[in-house]
A and B are shown apart, each in its own frame.
Chain A
Amino acid sequence: LAKTTQPISMDSYEGQEVNITCSHNNIATNDYITWYQQFPSQGPRFIIQGYKTKVTNEVASLFIPADRKSSTLSLPRVSLSDTAVYYCLVGHINTDKLIFGTGTRLQVFP
């Protein structure tokens, strides 16, 4: 079962780059790595997904080393509106039940 470990919380200031790392030592060959963002009183929202190396979209980058036992979500130049909980999700639901960890609570200060 591919469980994940993330820091419980992180603080940053507006304009800084934030990197959140997720450990997933038991990742399986078919597993993808997906990151979600959740604001208070809302459902999670998809940010980015990857399988290996680097993926970039309009809001974030995802770095995955060759052994795939960890991944790093990179948020460039965060703003106050990026204050949220970020979840790393690893799984292929045909073999694992989707497991969300406790997430990383990011607080961005002015």
Chain B
Amino acid sequence: NAGVTQTPKFQVLKTGQSMTLQCAQDMNHNSMYWYRQDPGMGLRLIYYSASEGTTDKGEVPNGYNVSRLNKREFSLRLESAAPSQTSVYFCASSEALERGETQYFGPGTRLLVL
């Protein structure tokens, strides 16, 4: 079991460029999440997907879009990157979206926007 995998591990973008962060889980989890973590800060929820075919906004959704491609994969897209989006992005999954089910996190994608 690889758990939660994320690609790429590191990316540098110029302002205005677009990119998609990929996330996949092999634990047959129903729910998936995207967080960002700025230096010295806690994690902030960007978007989540309760189940295949559904997505919903989190605390900081502006500037991002997501796609729940299938049960395994949940991608995060930056259409026009801005320096304020420089951060570490974590994907997570859990069995279900209820009762604070334990989340399993990926290793993160470090994004630098110049």
A93 to B32, CA, bound (A): 12
- Does B97 belong to the interface (CB within 8 Å)? yes
Is there a chain A Cβ closer than 8 Å to B74's Cβ? no
* Contact residues of A between 1 and 43, Cβ < 8 Å to B: 30-34, 36, 41-43
- Contact pick for B42, options A34, A43, A87, CB 8 Å: A87
Q: Which of A30, A32, A43, A49 has the most CB of B within 10 A?
A: A43
- Given A41-B108, A93-B48, 20 new contacts (CB under 8 A): A30-B99, A34-B102, A36-B103, A43-B92, A43-B107, A43-B108, A44-B90, A45-B105, A46-B102, A46-B103, A46-B104, A89-B100, A92-B98, A93-B98, A94-B97, A97-B59, A98-B45, A98-B48, A102-B40, A102-B41
